[in-house]
Structure 1
Amino acid sequence: MAKTEHRMTIHDSGWQFSTLPALVARAAEVYGNDPAIEDGGTKLSFVEFDQLRRKIAKAFMASGIEKGDRVMIWSPNTWKWFAAAMGLVSAGGVLIPTSTRFKGSEVHDLASRSGARMLLSCGEFLGKYYPEMLSPETRGLLKEIVVFDGAKETETPWDEFIARGETISDEALAEREASIGPDDMCDMLFTSGTTGYPKGVMYRHLQCLRTIDAWATRVGVQRGDRLLVIPPFFHAFGYRSGAIVSIMRGATLIPHLTYDADEILKRVENEKISVIPGPPTIFHGMLQHPELEKFDRSSLRLGVTGGAVVPSTLIRRMRETLGFEGVVNGYGLTECGGYGTMCSADDPDDVIANTAGKPFPDTEVRIMDADGNLLPDGEAGEVVIRGYLTMNGYFNDPEGTAKTIDKNGWLHTGDIGYFDENGNLRIEDRVKDLYICGGFNCYPAEIERLMSAHPAVGQIAVIGIPDERMGEVGKAYVVLRPGTSATAEELIGWARENIANYKVPRYVEFMDALPTSVQGKVQKDVLRAMNK
């Protein structure tokens, strides 16, 4: 089959590429000996990183990985994770990032449904040797298990894996890379599975690069930035908006293992971090630190958030309290590569605080009603997306794909929103999070935004719970700001004075911390389960 001849031009460099291996190779030429990755004692320039991903690509080829073969990586954020990923796609393999929260049975399900041939894993992490969680049945599905550090006799050590690549010539690698086209699949990120079993979102080389470039241009990531990547690499936010964008823009990638506000603030001070991408909970945690003012935060330039409805209070506090020069907010989902709409770095504060910005160039984002009619600006309905950023479907799931992408090519997000008079998207909530109180539609995200204006509210999550008289009523889970106090009665009374009566939560429960996924999103299903 003839390869597609599409090429794309990087916004600020003027160089072209169509695949991930071409990106890394060209980044080495453009950015040279600038620092590409810093991870503890490991420091790699762009030239050194390109040399390393070539060695790893040869190792995959020597291990029998053919173009199109699927390989899982099951590890927290480290330089080896990203180097392995770029080596894999350079050998024509398809990356399957695997959550470190997964247990053995979940990894088995992923391996079985994806048809993965190989697994790369961490060794000891959080007190567990990860490969020991795998059943004999899972091991039987996999050709090999490579362990990054501390491999036991039943697995292949990383260094041994790398060394086997010496049997592959430069010419053989060049031939393999030449066979990889822009429309070939580069990865499958599996959805979180909150609405059923996780689904494998198929994504291709060119659409991945084109989407990341549009995002990086919109938010303003620059050469020389130092990105502390806290969201896990197995999630689109960490992998694309952290790792790949660093290679693309000439920034330094600084992986972070586990979320801890104290450790993050220390790294900001000691490693002169300039950019932090992440969901709102990361910034909430930093703001909640009782000794925030003792840390030097003067290096912070850009805070990039999204992945949830973001209260305007948080945007203001990121600027005024954390000291970010710029803050941008956006909206996206895995089925669109992790993207959708985004504010610009030079948007006014009120736009950044209250909207998810505008669609990317050459993409369509519209609002649709339940009957499939597109709605005018100002009317709320389901957000639908069409364009180069939408997935190529769910792997081996044509029925699920057809339910998500309609016959006209619109991808249905399941999110409620509307466009304001300036063409900026405002997200109201998830369809499934909506609850109906006394006949009125209640959007928890809106209530969370409104109640976040209370001076004692540090973080809040609202759910609907059954009520015999009203059908459903709201319940708010609240984490107080350090040094403040409030009672449930006080918060409810304040809400009655500032919010429409039907939106006022009937109950308030205080927590030390909200339950969150490893991606940093509040787990409302956990909160709902507490009320059954």
Structure 2
Amino acid sequence: MRYDQEYRSIPHVIWRAAQRFGDAPALVDGDVRWSFRELERQMVCSVRAALALGIGPGDRVGLCAPNSAEWIVAALGIQGAGGIVVPLNTRFKAAELSYILRKSEAKALFASSFLGTDYIDDLLKEDPALPALCTTVSITGPQGAADLDWPGFLDRGESMSDAEAHTAIDGLTPDDISDVMFTSGTTGHPKGVILTHGQSLRAYGWMSEEYTFTDSDTFLVIPPFFHCFGYKAGWLASLIHGVTVIPMPAFDAGRALEVISREKVSILLGPPTIFQDLINHPSRPDHDVSSLRVSMTGGTTIPEPLIHAMKDDLSFDIVMSAYGLTESSALVTTTRIGDEAPTVARTTGRPIPDVEVRIADDQGQALPAGEAGEVQVRGYNVTRGYWEEPEATAAAIGPDGWLRTGDIGVLDADGNLSIVDRKKDMYIVGGFNAYPAEIEKLLLGCEPVQQAAVIGVPDERLGEVGCAFVVLKPGHQTTEADVIAWARAHMANFKVPRHVRIVGELPRNASQKVLKDQLRARFAND
């Protein structure tokens, strides 16, 4: 089935799900227990309210909140009105949010307080004069510095009719932009990846069908909604197939085990750290996890013993691995049901239908199976480009449509892809992409720091973490702990280096490029 042709847009999924699954449970979030019909009603109310705020076709709207029912309804309201969702990482600090909102010229911001952070209040203190921002909405909790709280936002919709909401939704097409997802890059600033309704539906409708999602399943969605893992492989893929969605705002292994046992959760996707923490949690034997059925983990190397433990200790029947990047709708390859554990551990599987993968040398020529080179992708899943960055788009996507991923990989004789290195220096912290160039730029804001070089180093729990080598300004003093403390106050926590080394100078070549191989060797020998 071509899910983009069948459903047309993400809000259309909710219409069809209400027709197909009716009073079956769609969403469970604390005291919220909505059927598919009730979710449709909530969506229409949100679309009416978005229209009343003046959100229309092509308008960008920031959305910064933890996983919740309100996040889903806010996104559906924005998209149903024709707007474009700009998901914002809840770990970002105010300066990082300000950059993205300015870059995208966001007309409105939906946000909430989370883990002691009031995003709207902090943002307005950091940047009180965002030129395009007209309205702020607090979607959970008190209104605070926001223009509207969630009930106040929905009340605005009283001035619009259901018919006007239906007309707006019905005007959406698969080619319309659904979201601009900002991903950090080697240039030191985030870039907005443009994705459409059709790309999302086609990729994740297929993926969830391949993974055997059914209307008898319940999915505890732990990966954050600001990433495709939680948003598109999570609640969107679920609602297409009638799966009950349970959003989890912040991962806690003990709490997750309670929800799995009580709600009979059958689907759980996420980075390996989630499954390791569930397996190792002392209360695991006290909880019934026999309902668990389908899992997929990715983002880093998967130890084969973990795959066996996921089946033996967590009762999973199906364990998959996959590979993707935001620029490819976050889905390029996946293993298939029936693949043996070594294939799931060693590779990320084979390309999804209608998507090509090749390994290329530095001249862009395809390499044979078994040879390492840059992973390149071509197909419907590839982004239209970076928001208002034509040069970066041209550098990433060739005239022949091949996306240069920057990852180094190998294809085996069966077409399975293995990622063996990262051309762009990016490393992955517990499932989150961390980019040294961006972190280095942020560290230069620390007053004593004159130069900084960041590398990814192994970590038993998170897979990799950052190590920053810093050179201090003449006459300045600081400690490694002080640099880490400054970083925790000024950047998202997954970007914070877990290790700092204060050095007299950074090793450089004749072109003054930092020799990071030498830094890796130094760290290994410490």
Give 1:175 shift. 2.7
Write out aligned runs for 1:490-505 (5 A).
Answer: none
Q: Which runs of 5+ in 2 are unaligned?
A: 429-435, 437-454, 463-487, 504-526
Write out aligned runs for 1:132-143 (5 A).
Answer: 132-135=121-124, 137-138=127-128, 140-141=130-131, 142-143=133-134
Give 1:479 shift. 5.3
Q: Determine if contact 2:50/2:157 at 8 Å carries over to the other structure.
A: yes
Matched, 1:70 2:41: no
Matched, 1:99 2:89: yes
Matched, 1:38 2:33: no
- Distance 1:112-1:290 versus aligned 2 partners, 3 A rule: same
Write out aligned runs for 1:309-348 (5 A).
Answer: 309-348=301-340
Matched, 1:146 2:137: yes
| TM-score, reference length from structure 2 | 0.80
Matched, 1:158 2:150: yes
The equivalent of 1:509 in structure 2 is: none
What SS does structure 1 have at the residue aligned with 2:202? helix
Matched, 1:179 2:168: no
What SS does structure 1 have at the residue aligned with 2:497? helix
Give 1:153 shift. 6.1
Write out aligned runs for 1:200-239 (5 A).
Answer: 200-239=192-231
The equivalent of 2:396 in structure 1 is: 404
Q: Deviations over 1:172-206 (max 9, x none)?
A: 22332233222111101111346521110001111
- Distance 1:66-1:290 versus aligned 2 partners, 3 A rule: same
Q: Determine if contact 1:111/1:138 at 8 Å carries over to the other structure.
A: no
1:263 is aligned, of 255, 267, 278, to: 255
What SS does structure 1 have at the residue aligned with 2:410? strand
Give 1:346 shift. 2.8
Amino acid at match of 1:146: V
Amino acid at match of 1:198: P
The equivalent of 1:293 in structure 2 is: 285
Give 1:405 shift. 0.7
Q: Deviations over 1:273-302 (max 9, x none)?
A: 111111111112222323432222111111
> What percentage of aligned pairs have identical amino acids?
39
The equivalent of 2:182 in structure 1 is: 190
Q: Determine if contact 2:378/2:403 at 8 Å carries over to the other structure.
A: yes
Measure the CA separation in 1 of the matches of 2:496 and 2:228: 21
Measure the CA separation in 1 of the matches of 2:91 and 2:496: 16
Matched, 1:131 2:120: yes
The equivalent of 1:440 in structure 2 is: none
Q: Determine if contact 1:308/1:331 at 8 Å carries over to the other structure.
A: no
The equivalent of 1:526 in structure 2 is: 497
| TM-score, reference length from structure 1 | 0.79
- Distance 1:139-1:261 versus aligned 2 partners, 3 A rule: farther
Q: Which runs of 5+ in 1 are unaligned?
A: 1-7, 435-443, 446-462, 464-472, 481-516
What SS does structure 2 have at the residue aligned with 1:273? coil
Measure the CA separation in 1 of the matches of 2:106 and 2:380: 26
- Distance 1:125-1:354 versus aligned 2 partners, 3 A rule: same
What SS does structure 2 have at the residue aligned with 1:16? helix
- Distance 1:55-1:524 versus aligned 2 partners, 3 A rule: closer
The equivalent of 2:46 in structure 1 is: 56
Measure the CA separation in 2 of the matches of 1:102 and 1:116: 17
The equivalent of 2:477 in structure 1 is: none
Measure the CA separation in 2 of the matches of 1:296 and 1:431: 43
Q: Deviations over 1:217-270 (max 9, x none)?
A: 222222221111111100110000111011111101100011111111121112
Measure the CA separation in 2 of the matches of 1:41 and 1:336: 36
- Distance 1:345-1:130 versus aligned 2 partners, 3 A rule: same
Q: Determine if contact 2:279/2:313 at 8 Å carries over to the other structure.
A: yes
